[in-house]
Structures are given as C-alpha cells and as structure tokens.
Amino acid sequence: MTIDTDPAEAARQARAEQRSAQLLEAAARLMDRDGPESVSMQSLATEAGVSVGLIYRYFGGKDELLLAVILNVLDAFGTEVPRAMDEAGEDPVHRLAAGLRALCEVIDDQRYAVVLTYRATKQLSAEGRHRIMELELSTMEPLREALRAGRDSGVLDVVDVDLEAYNLLLLAHSWALKHWYYERRYTPAEFTTAQTAIALRALVPPRHRRKYAALLATAATQ
C-alpha cells in the first residue's frame, strides 16, 4: 500500500493543504469583519486574494467549504479541550473547569464559525450534518468523562451525564449565540469565570466547596 513516495504528489498535497488553510483563515477573517452572511464565494475570493474559480479546485463548492469551516472549529475543540484538561491534572473538578475554559476560548476565537454551526444546517448534505453531529458528540466526550469520574469519586453531583455535558457546551456556545448581549457586560475572561462558577456551583456538593473555592468565586460574589 505504499503509494506515496511520489515527491511531486507530496508537494501537491502540501500546497493543497496550505491553500485550504489560507482559505479557511480568510473565511474566518471575513466573518469576523462582516458577519457570517457575507461569506459569498466572491467576497471570500477577494478576502483571500485569489479568484473564485480557485476555491472550487480546493473545495467542491460552497457546501463543502462551509462544512470545512465548521469541522475546523470542531477540530479545535477536539484538540484544545483535551489538552487543557490534561494540563489541569487528575482532579475531575479542575479538569472540568479547564475544559470549559478551553471551550470558551476557542469559541471566542471562532465566534462566527460557531454561530455558523447553527445557521448552516440548510446547505449541508445529510452526510455533512451527520459528521458534524458525530464530531460534536465525540468532542464532548472528555467533558462527559470528567463528569463521570467526578460522580464516581463523589466530588460531583451529576444526575444525567449526557444532558449536563451538553448544557456545559451550550453555556459556552451562548457566548457566541448571544454575543450582542454579553459583549456589553462581560469581557471574554469575565464571562468564562462567571459561567464556570455557575456551572460548578450546580455540580459540586456543599461538602467539597471549600476545596474549590477559587473556581466557585466570581468578582461579583456577594
């Protein structure tokens, strides 16, 4: 099965990957400046400094492009969340908090792409939609895992792991979804801290609260 080793082919692949990244970057920049509805093939081409036709070489069409943008975010979740959680050590509560923070950071970074996830369902093929669902679920797996671990060791009071994991994801998504409201009241960091406190307050039973006081506190605490 060693079909590789063709240097020309390898070079092509490398270039393709670079182009693809360039286009995704441009899409992000464009959405960030003009909102997600401005992602037309023309404006994307202009933003990326290439011609429309070229986009079709690297992405089959708009559908595939949007799918790629979305998968890109989900991929960032899949990378950043576990990394942050592992850095946080073994404690399930700290792991959870770290995961939520990472989630919020990626979302802040890719705000419009996250919103796109909710908007683009229309143009996506059934298969694309399915991939997104699968990926979203597997993205959340580390959070679910931490919830389970915390429940098993008694530091977390979890009733329904799946539901509560999804709630955490939505808590973070809300930064993108309701940004028009939150941006007036919180910085990204404040938002993250406050939501972490709220989420953990729901999960950490009283007897363990002292231990996690730092995570449970907010600037606004009375």
Partner DNA sequence: TCACTGTGAATGAATCTAGATTCATTTCAT
Partner DNA sequence: ATGAAATGAATCTAGATTCATTCACAGTGA
Out of 8, 159, 213, 214, the residue judged to bind DNA by CB under 7 A: 8
Q: Which range in 3-11, 73-81, 97-105, 159-167 contacts a second copy by CB under 8 A?
A: 159-167
In angstroms, the CA 42 to CA 174 distance is 30
State which H helix or E strand residue 130 sits in.
Answer: helix 126-153
String marking each residue 92-131 x if it binds DNA according to CB under 7 A: ----------------------------------------
Token look-up 């792409």 returns: 113
63 binds DNA (CB under 7 A): yes
Angle between helices 92-109 and 126-153 (to 10 degrees): 150
Out of 180, 210, 213, 214, the residue judged to bind a second copy by CB under 8 A: 180
In angstroms, the CA 13 to CA 135 distance is 24
Q: Please tell me what DSSP assigns to residue 207.
A: G
Q: Which is nearer to DNA, 120 or 168 (CB)?
A: 120
Q: Decide which of DNA, a second copy, none touches 56; Cβ closer than 5 to 8 Å per partner kind.
A: DNA
In angstroms, the CA 132 to CA 36 distance is 18
33 binds a second copy (CB under 8 A): no
Burial class (CB in 10 A: 0-12, 13-18, 19+), 117: buried
Q: Which residues bind a second copy (CB under 8 A)?
A: 35-37, 115, 118-119, 121-122, 133, 137, 157, 159-160, 162-164, 166-167, 170-171, 174, 177-178, 180-181, 185, 194-195, 197-199, 201-203, 206, 218, 220-222
